[in-house]
Amino acid sequence: MKGQKKTKRIGVFVCHCGVNIAGVVDVEKVAKTLTDYPGVAFSTNYIYVCSDPGQQMIIDTIKEKKLDGIIVAACSPTLHEKTFQEAARLAGLNPYQIEIANIREQDSWVHVDKDKATKKAVKIIKAHVEKAVRNESLEPIKVEVHRRALVIGGGISGIQAALDIADHGYEVLLVEKNPSIGGKMIQLSETFPTLDCSQCIMTPKMVEASRHPRIKLLTYHEVESVSGFVGNFKVRIKKKPRYVDAVLCNLCAECEKVCPQIVPDEFNMGLSFRKAIYMPFPQAVPGTYTLDAEHCLGLNPVRCGKCKDVCEKKAISYEMQETIFEEEVGAIVVATGYDLYSMQALGEYGGEKIPDVINGLEFERILSASGPTAGIIRRPSDGKVPKSVVFVQCSGSRDTEKHNPYCSKICCMYTAKHAMLYKHRVPDGQAIVFYIDVRTGGKAFDEFYQRTIEEDKVLYIRGKVSKIFKDGDKVVVWGVDTLTGKKVEVEADMVVLAMAMVKAEGVGDLLRKLKIQTDIHGWLAEAHPKLRPVESLNAGFYLAGCAHGPKDIPEAVAQASAAAAKVGDLFAQKELSHEPTVVPVDEDKCSGCAICITMCPYQARTLDTERGVVVVNEILCEGCGACAAACPSGAAQQRNQTDDQIFSMVTAMMKG
Amino acid sequence: MKVHYYPGCTLKEKTTALDVSTREAMKCLDIELVEPEGWTCCGAEYPLTEEKIVGLAAPLRVLRQVREENGDFVITTCSFCYAVLKRANKAIKDDPLKHKRVNAYLRDDIKINALTKEKTTGFEDYNGEVRVLHLLEYLRDHVGYQKIRSRLKRPFGGLPVAAYYGCRLLRPAKDMDLGEPDDPRLFEEFLEAVGATPVDYPFKQECCGSYLSVSLPDAATEASYRVLRSARSNGAAAITVTCPLCFYNMDRRQDKIKEAFLDFPGLPVLFFTQILAWALGVEKTVLGLNQHAVPADDLFRDAPAPEVTL
Amino acid sequence: MFEPQIMSFLCKWCTSAAADLAGTSRLHYAPNPVNLRVMCSSRVDPQHILYAFKEGADGVFIGGCHPGDCHYVEGNYKTLRRVTLFKRMLDDLGIDSRRLRLEWISAAEGKKYAQVMDEFTEQIRGLGPLQLNENALMKEEEKDE
């Protein structure tokens, strides 16, 4: 069914492009042929339409001949579409009334038969005329932007992104589910390759984040739900009850002394204990105690109450409730971090049942001066200083059979660091590393690893470990040295497994609420693996840190700053401007079948259940047209590429 | 109740103790074991090598015979026989080429009736219909530990026994489907059901040396020593096996082990069916204990379990 | 000699760019295909294909991005599904499904584009002109508005 043709006055400008087009296509003949075509009010040919005089000629002609649409038959639109749109605008014509007919790259440059090339050019131009007479004038879709960002996750990536966005001049909400910010980095002892004390370099950033006038630090908070779209998100945030007033608390620690409940300390990876009322670590930000209701003897009714009794500042209140409040933000940075693969999954390495087989984070706590052993390396079972330690790389990584197929990137470097630090503190001890490869791609990384071998005399054996088990006092490690072909059995005092990095526990629920995509391993999916690494395909969401995939601290910080820059891009715009060639819904024709909703990769379409029609959020629609092709009733039509336009173009191309 | 049972050749020759104790134990549970007529050797490991297709005819013939005798499943105790029969089934189910080729042979088999001497031929294709069950899983799933416990005449007095799976029983995990190889419970639950105390030790699935007994006896000696030593040093008074080859390596060759490793005091090796039979009230004399190189009689007493000196 | 008419739907991000590259590389190929540029190959509705056949196309070509590379994430998968099913319908309708061709051509594959255009043109030439039953086609005037 052909639509109603508006009586438009279309101008056709056929470019010679020197001899590029005119050498093959008879441009004069083409221009002349088009003069009589329905809808064409003016048709001419010109030597170089993209030149200044060429453009001026077009502008003048539009005004003189009162044209309301033009075809520029020339080179590929990728070259000069914007040029001519701008020229048209100057002539008072809506830029979406410009059509570029490609008669060079897709005609004169690829065909030898002049007659056929000319006939083809005519067909192409006629088709564009058919489209042009049906084109609507369109305005870019404009949306306001709330210049406020939400950063989810208070590890190094979240903190860095928050600081950068705040330094740009925008307000940031930094939400962290734990009582303090710091993430995993604050648990580390020293960082490679500089052996910087992790807490020393991180605490200044943590303090800066807490003091920054534009950062609202929301620790012990969780994101409940997110609705809206880029520039206009509504976020519901849950404030968990700390039962301690963070402002009043003066860290006297009297409450901790009297608390009767003993809980394994998560910060120390279960290697020591804390009380139910606790501060996760001395440099916690905010500096306050928190009462862990799950492990408290009881708050309702109050079964103990000792902590409240001894609190001078009256900071403790058992009546605190969970509250939920709503905030408006324009951009969301997801920096939810990672966790380590569970040792229980590696039955052949003891399945977490052997106390002296530990993972990298546990070893970090043992190494840490503020850790459970005050920085002296002792093994968990009996506190003895281990004289022989085996480090097993790739535990649960690079395993396509049962575990994680990917490489966790940081383990080669931190294992070298662990082995080096062990040898520094236990010089007469033996450190053996079992490896598949040693990957040291960063700056000064390989030199660091070479030091471990040459200066610290750590023994590197190339081979996978097949079994780890306890035999009396020792931990037996069965491996192989592939370079000599011999089996290797080590009776070690302690084993440190470089466990794979996996997605953060419980993050799946949050990501579902945010409706952003992850890959099959649960890592956040970037918009393009090469060219857009810090944005999600969902407009307004940015990715930073290990939530996106295994990476080390320098990369995480770089990515966080990049994400902040992208947020800055978004906020720098007065208003968001979006291509209007989207696919709206003709509500008269829409039956609410919702097939189009399943076609959309951007979640731009939703079903209005009350009215039984589909509604499109035009700012999210990218204009691919997949829904339009699927719509059974033709209610979904792409602006300026409707079915009607396509049909008429096909007719012109086949019959013209 | 009659149930099909495949003993395997070794049980009829070298380790009749396993065969006899199995039968006697099952009698106490009101189960009569019936061997499929004319059964042959399963082929040991060889039928399972990738290129060998004809070799699959041996184990599949046994299973087809079970089908001909209207059996849905067959029980076996020997780990090797169990592995071969079960994986042969899977081989023809997974690979249409193997299915076609092996059945081409099986179809042409001639069957002679023992009584009438009548010859039949032209069997229907065997498609893996007969299930292969290990006695341990049969006891757990079909008989049930409840029933066993209710029939116990002599609960085993909490004797610490190390369950030895060997290499075959649980691996490859996807084919054998008897539980997680890194943390198995099958054998341990059985021991608990009969009143023994299972001992946890790290060598429960490490190889005993297997056929290296013949070609590289020193390697087999060392392998078996390591298993036995681990079991003993973790408190076991005995080690129990399902496989006659494991028994051979660890019991019959224990004198060689003691020669090579002077610090090893020894450890009795039992078949799990001997434990079961005894617990269900079968007479000691029938258990075949005289076939053991390492004396195990003392373990079977009406009196409380003997002290174990480590 | 019979000159087949070929209607070509090319996706902006990949195949149309490949066609442009063929142009800048001055590769030569048959002038039979005429290109209609769409944002994504998933914009192409089976209706458009049928319409093209009706309007005189002897062959219809759809060019999209390689699987995994679609600018709009999964558009090309949708195209693949549609074309796979539609080809069966074409055969049922009495149109040789070889007259419809779906090809993944990336923006870097100018040469491949030229080769495929020549190949497809020759293939359609071999199949001959599409003979639709003229009586079965409604006349212009009888179509409802």
Minimal Cβ distance to A347: which of B180, B230, B233: B180
Crossing angle of helices A77-90 and A52-65, rounded to 10° = 50
Give me the half-sphere count of Cα atoms (radius 13 Å) on the Cβ side of residue A180.
25
How many structural domains are present in chain A? 5
- Is A628 within 8 Å of C45 when comparing Cβ atoms? yes
Are A219 and A101 within one domain? no
Q: One-letter amino acid identity for B135?
A: L
- Helix (H), strand (E), coil (C) string for A563-594: HHHHHHHHHHCCCEEECCCCCCECCCCCCCCC
Q: For residue A471, which residues of chain B lie inside 8 Å, CB to CB?
A: 202, 230, 233
Instruction: Give backbone dihedrals phi and psi of B273, rounded to 5 degrees, phi first.
Output: -75, -25
Q: Does A227 touch chain C (CB under 8 A)?
A: no
Residues A100 and A84: beta-carbon distance below 8 Å: yes
Minimal Cβ distance to A471: which of B182, B183, B202: B202
Q: For residue A469, which residues of chain B lie inside 8 Å, CB to CB?
A: 202
Residues B162 and B196: beta-carbon distance below 8 Å: no
Instruction: Quote the tokens at residue B113.
Output: 């009736």
Instruction: Quote the tokens at residue C6.
Output: 């070929």
Q: Are strands A357-359 and A171-176 parallel, antiparallel or unpaired?
A: unpaired
- Taking residues A344-373, what's their average pLDDT? 95
Distance (Å, whole) CA C69 – CA C13: 10
- Is A471 within 8 Å of B230 when comparing Cβ atoms? yes
Q: Are strands B238-241 and A486-492 parallel, antiparallel or unpaired?
A: unpaired
Q: Is A558 exposed, middle or buried (0-12, 13-18, 19+ CB in 10 A)?
A: middle
- Taking residues A615-634, what's their average pLDDT? 93
Can the peptide bond before residue B172 be classed as cis, meaning omega within 30 degrees of 0?
yes
Gap between the terminal Cα atoms of chain A: 19
Give me the half-sphere count of Cα atoms (radius 13 Å) on the Cβ side of residue A203.
14
Q: Are strands A474-481 and A486-492 parallel, antiparallel or unpaired?
A: antiparallel
- Taking residues A349-365, what's their average pLDDT? 96
Q: Is the confidence at residue A5, as pLDDT, over 60?
A: no
Are A222 and A331 within one domain? yes
Count the neighbouring beta carbons within 10 Å of the beta carbon of residue C97.
15
Are A271 and A388 within one domain? no
The answer as to whether A278 is a domain residue is yes
Locate tokens 């990738």: which residue?
B50
pTM: 0.79
Mark which residues 124-183 of A lie under 8 Å from C by CB: 124, 127
Instruction: Give backbone dihedrals phi and psi of C6, rounded to 5 degrees, phi first.
Output: -125, 125
Mark which residues 60-89 of A lie under 8 Å from C by CB: 76-78
Distance (Å, whole) CA A391 – CA B227: 26
Could you tell me which of A629, A630, A632, A654 has the C-alpha nearest to residue A643? A629
pLDDT tens, A153-211? 999 999 999 999 999 999 999 999 999 999 999 999 999 999 999 999 999 999 999 99
Q: Is the confidence at residue B158, as pLDDT, over 90?
A: no
Chain A residue with minimum CA distance to C46? A629
Probe site for chain A from B182, B205, B232, B234 (most A CB atoms < 10 A): B182
pLDDT tens, B184-222? 899 999 999 999 999 999 999 999 998 898 899 999 999
B291-303: buried (b, 16+ CB within 10 Å) or exposed (e) per residue?
Answer: bbebebeebbeee
Q: How confident is the model at residue B307 (pLDDT cuts 50, 70, 90)?
A: low
Q: How many CB pairs (< 8 A) connect A and C?
A: 119
Are A518 and A416 within one domain? no
pLDDT score at A636: 96
Minimal Cβ distance to C31: which of A78, A104, A113: A113
Crossing angle of helices A643-655 and C46-54, rounded to 10° = 30
Minimal Cβ distance to C38: which of A601, A625, A654: A625
pLDDT score at C26: 95
Whether B contacts C, i.e. 3 or more CB pairs less than 8 A apart, is no
Minimal Cβ distance to B182: which of A351, A472, A476: A351
Q: Is A52 exposed, middle or buried (0-12, 13-18, 19+ CB in 10 A)?
A: exposed
- Taking residues A51-59, what's their average pLDDT? 94
- Is A111 within 8 Å of C31 when comparing Cβ atoms? yes
Q: Does B307 touch chain A (CB under 8 A)?
A: no
- Is A647 within 8 Å of C51 when comparing Cβ atoms? yes
Distance from CA of B174 to the nearest CA of A (A): 11
Are A565 and A528 within one domain? yes
Q: For residue A127, which residues of chain C lie inside 8 Å, CB to CB?
A: 34, 36
Chain B residue with minimum CA distance to A401? B174
Residues in chain A: 656
Could you tell me which of C78, C100, C71 has the C-alpha nearest to residue C87? C100
| Chains in contact with A via at least 3 Cβ–Cβ pairs below 8 Å | B, C
Whether A contacts C, i.e. 3 or more CB pairs less than 8 A apart, is yes
Domain carrying residue A609 = 579-630
pLDDT score at B210: 86
Probe site for chain B from A354, A469, A476 (most B CB atoms < 10 A): A469
Distance from CA of A591 to the nearest CA of C (A): 19
Mark which residues 213-272 of B lie under 8 Å from A by CB: 230, 233
The answer as to whether A621 is a domain residue is yes
Q: Is the confidence at residue B303, as pLDDT, over 80?
A: no
- Cα C126 to Cα B31, C5, C108, C121, C131: the distances in Å are 75, 13, 29, 9, 14
Distance (Å, whole) CA A331 – CA C91: 51
Residues A149 and A653: beta-carbon distance below 8 Å: no
Q: DSSP letter for A94, please.
A: -
Are A289 and A157 within one domain? no
Distance (Å, whole) CA A30 – CA A249: 84
Q: Is the C-alpha dihedral spanning B93, B96, B97, B99 positive or negative? A: positive
Instruction: Quote the tokens at residue A516.
Output: 């952003």
Are A344 and A471 within one domain? yes
- Domain boundary among the residues A572, A587, A606 is at A572
pLDDT score at A520: 85
Q: Is the confidence at residue A382, as pLDDT, over 80?
A: yes
Which of B281 and C33 is assigned the larger pLDDT? C33
Widest Cα–Cα separation across chain B: 62
Distance from CA of B203 to the nearest CA of A (A): 9
Distance (Å, whole) CA A105 – CA C26: 8
Probe site for chain A from C15, C73, C80 (most A CB atoms < 10 A): C73
The answer as to whether A410 is a domain residue is yes
Residues A338 and A501: beta-carbon distance below 8 Å: yes
Widest Cα–Cα separation across chain C: 48
Q: How confident is the model at residue A310 (pLDDT cuts 50, 70, 90)?
A: very high
pLDDT score at A238: 97
Give me the half-sphere count of Cα atoms (radius 13 Å) on the Cβ side of residue A561.
5
Minimal Cβ distance to A351: which of B183, B230, B233: B183
Domain boundaries, given as residue ranges, for chain B:
2-132, 153-299
pLDDT score at B310: 45
Chain A residue with minimum CA distance to B182? A347
Chain A residue with minimum CA distance to C54? A651
Which helix (H) or strand (E) segment holds residue A323: the answer is: strand A323-329
- Cα A452 to Cα A428, A436, A445, A446: the distances in Å are 15, 17, 11, 10
Q: Does B180 touch chain A (CB under 8 A)?
A: yes
Q: For residue A110, which residues of chain C lie inside 8 Å, CB to CB?
A: 22-23, 26-29, 31, 114
pLDDT score at B114: 75
Residues C75 and C40: beta-carbon distance below 8 Å: yes
Minimal Cβ distance to C143: which of A1, A624, A630: A1
Q: Is the confidence at residue B242, as pLDDT, over 60?
A: yes
Q: Which residues lie below 8 Å from residue B240, measured CB to CB, with a gap of 6+?
A: B161, B162, B163, B164, B187, B191, B269, B270, B271, B272, B275
- Taking residues B118-122, what's their average pLDDT? 80
CATH of B153-299, one of 1.10.3720.10, 1.10.260.40, 3.40.50.2000, 3.40.50.11810: 3.40.50.11810
Q: Does B40 touch chain A (CB under 8 A)?
A: no
Are A418 and A508 within one domain? no
pLDDT score at C140: 54
Q: For residue B231, which residues of chain A lie inside 8 Å, CB to CB?
A: none
Distance (Å, whole) CA B213 – CA A413: 45
Are A152 and A277 within one domain? no
Distance (Å, whole) CA A45 – CA A34: 11
Distance (Å, whole) CA C114 – CA C133: 32
Mean pLDDT, chain A, integer: 94
- Domain boundary among the residues A108, A138, A168 is at A138
Are A199 and A333 within one domain? yes
Q: How confident is the model at residue A577 (pLDDT cuts 50, 70, 90)?
A: confident
Q: Is B222 exposed, middle or buried (0-12, 13-18, 19+ CB in 10 A)?
A: middle
Given its phi and psi angles, is residue A270 left (phi above 0), alpha (psi -120 to 50 degrees) or beta? left
Distance (Å, whole) CA A362 – CA A365: 5
Provide ipTM, 2 decimals: 0.94
- Domain boundary among the residues A478, A500, A522 is at A500
Residues A103 and C19: beta-carbon distance below 8 Å: no
- Is A601 within 8 Å of C72 when comparing Cβ atoms? yes
Distance (Å, whole) CA A251 – CA A248: 9
- Is A347 within 8 Å of B202 when comparing Cβ atoms? no
Widest Cα–Cα separation across chain A: 99
pLDDT tens, A105-155? 999 999 999 999 999 999 999 999 999 999 999 999 988 899 999 999 999
Q: Does B157 touch chain A (CB under 8 A)?
A: no
Which helix (H) or strand (E) segment holds residue A616: the answer is: strand A613-616
Residues A218 and A151: beta-carbon distance below 8 Å: no
- Taking residues A235-255, what's their average pLDDT? 95
Distance (Å, whole) CA A482 – CA C80: 47
Q: What is the CATH number of the domain that holds A408?
A: 3.50.50.60
Residues A423 and A372: beta-carbon distance below 8 Å: no
pLDDT tens, B4-58? 999 998 888 888 899 999 999 999 999 999 999 889 888 887 778 777 778 888 8
pLDDT score at B306: 52
Is residue A331 helix, strand or coil? strand
- Cα B60 to Cα B66, B108, C78: the distances in Å are 10, 14, 47
Domains along chain C with CATH numbers: 6-130 (3.40.50.960)
DSSP per-residue codes, A230-252: TTEEEEEEEEPP-SB-TTT----
* Radius of gyration from C-alpha coordinates of chain B: 20
Q: How confident is the model at residue A401 (pLDDT cuts 50, 70, 90)?
A: confident
Minimal Cβ distance to A624: which of C24, C39, C55: C39
Are A346 and A377 within one domain? yes
Q: Is the confidence at residue A2, as pLDDT, over 50?
A: no
- Is C57 within 8 Å of A654 when comparing Cβ atoms? yes
- Tell me, which fold does domain B2-132 have in CATH? Glutathione S-transferase Yfyf (Class Pi); Chain A, domain 2 (1.20.1050)
